[in-house]
Amino acid sequence: MIYGHKMKSKVEEITSRLNDLADERNKLGLLGVNVKAKTGSKGKNVQTSLIDKSTVLGREADADSLIAKLLEDEDLNRKVSVMSIVGLGGIGKTTLAKILYNDEKVMAHFELRVWVCVSDEFSVFNISNAIFQAVDGHNQDFASLDLLHVALKEKVANKRFLVVLDDIWNEDHSQWELLKSPFLVGSTGSKIIVTTRKNKVALVMDSAQPHMLKGLSDEIALSLFAYNALNEDNFDEYPSLKVIAKGIIKKCDGLPLALIALGRVLKIKGTNIDEWEELLNSEIWDIEDGGGILPALKLSYYDLPLHLKQLFAYCSFFFQKTTYSTRIN
Ligand SMILES: Nc1ncnc2c1ncn2[C@@H]1O[C@H](COP(=O)(O)OP(=O)(O)OP(=O)(O)O)[C@@H](O)[C@H]1O
Ligand SMILES: [Mg+2]
């Protein structure tokens, strides 16, 4: 009997806890969220074409060689050619594409430039629609993909255009064939730049020679780390921290996203050498991620205060949308 009483109060306690959780869920507006669809998301950020070039370190050689290719009118038989930038998450593909897109010579060379952030969903209709709206400057409702493509074809006909498709994951060649069909009437020298983490995507999209983007050199990585951790260009004033910083950047493999994230973690902690050593010696570095970015990001995630951790988790519920921007010369 006593046992039954205890059981009852335990059940009441659990029920009340569940009610509290339900209240919290309502307050956060999590009702009606299609969790299944969203966990399929690759959890990346939407980016526009704008860039502050003064914050980008290194990459001059990559930019120069790609700009030279962009300005070539090489293949007279093929009016539109595809160039791709391939590399790990956070290595700087989008950043490099922004540098190309906003380069003065590139801007002067192309009559029409459009930037589309594609990310998760490769919807031919949505991407084509985003490009049409960017070129046309107005929203139009198209009843079918065919009508949309006819209108888009007219807009790009005989123009030398540059389209950036940022963050592509599509491996279906037929979808790509469909997307590019209105662009085949462009003027010779028109280019499509694709950024992707996957080499296979570049091949599916007929990219002649993928540009494999490597990590930053140690020297540039150290500067980027110093800038984010100390607001300095280098470690000249902090010789003992420099030794630890060198160890940390080695583990970051030249990935700017990792260097920035960890630099910011240490900026908050200040110049206390123990804190820096703790980060360098954390066992999270040992997580296997096939050469990806996970351990470095986990370290910066673990350092967030609890309420920001929750906010971070909450953000993963949001869909990404195809976005665009354009400039017409
Ligand atoms: N050369 C650089 N100098 C300074 N910061 C950089 C550099 N390259 C990239 N970054 C910064 O690193 C972060 C990641 O870069 P970016 O978004 O270009 O990577 P990505 O390769 O496109 O990643 P993803 O595969 O997730 O799309 C951004 O905050 C960007 O500003
Ligand atoms: Mg990117």
Q: Which CATH number fits domain 53-214+320-328: 3.40.50.300, 3.30.70.260, 3.40.50.10680, 3.30.1330.30?
A: 3.40.50.300
Residues within 5 Å of ion ligand 2, judged at the Cβ atom = 93-94, 167
State the distance from the centre of ligand 2 to the C-alpha of 77, rounded, in angstroms: 31
- The half-sphere exposure of 270 on its side-chain side, counting CA atoms within 13 A, is 2
CA distances from 128 to 68, 179, 313 (A): 27, 7, 32
Q: What is the pTM of this model?
A: 0.80
> pLDDT at residue 195 above 60?
yes
| C-beta 90 within 6 A of ligand 1 | yes
58 CA: nearest ligand 1 atom: 1
Which of 4-8, 83-87, 316-320 has maximum average pLDDT? 83-87
CA 23 – ligand 1 centroid, Å: 38
Q: How confident is the model at residue 93 (pLDDT cuts 50, 70, 90)?
A: very high
Q: b/e map of 143-165 (b: 16 or more CB within 10 Å)?
A: eebeebbebbeebbeebbbbbbb
Mean pLDDT of 78-102: 92
pLDDT tens, 238-247?
999 999 999 9
Query: Is the pLDDT confidence value at 6 over 80?
Result: no
The whole-number average pLDDT for the span 67-90 is 84
Coil, strand or helix at 190? strand
Share of the chain above pLDDT 70, in %: 84
* Residue 124: per-residue pLDDT: 94
Distance 134 CA to ligand 1 centre (A): 24
Tens of pLDDT, residue by residue over 18-67, are 888 777 665 554 444 332 222 233 444 567 788 787 788 999 999 999 99
Chain mean pLDDT for the chain? 83
State residue 43's pLDDT score.
42
Tens of pLDDT along 107-136?
A: 999 999 999 999 878 899 999 999 999 888
Does residue 267 sit in helix, strand or coil? helix
Joined tokens for residue 12:
């009441």
Largest CA distance in the chain: 90
Which residue's C-alpha comes closest to atom 26 of ligand 1? 89
- Note whether 68 and 194 are within 8 A (CB): no
Q: Ligand 1 atom 4: the closest Cα is on which residue?
A: 56
Q: What is the pLDDT of residue 231?
A: 92
CA–CA gap between residue 155 and residue 182 (Å, rounded): 9
Read off the pLDDT band of 205 (50, 70, 90). confident
What pLDDT shows up at residue 3?
A: 58
pLDDT class of 95 with cuts at 50, 70, 90? very high
Predicted pLDDT of residue 27: 56
The residue with tokens 């459009």 is 114
Predicted local distance difference test score (pLDDT) of residue 283: 78
- Domain ranges in the chain? 53-214+320-328, 218-315
Nearest ligand (C-alpha, residue 98)? 1
The response to whether residue 295 sits with its C-beta less than 6 Å from ligand 1 reads no
- Determine the pLDDT at residue 229: 94
pLDDT of residue 299: 74
pLDDT band at 137 (very low <50, low <70, confident <90, very high): confident
- CB 94 within 8 Å of CB 195: yes
C-alpha of residue 86 to centroid of ligand 2, in Å: 10
What 3-state DSSP class applies to 326?
A: strand
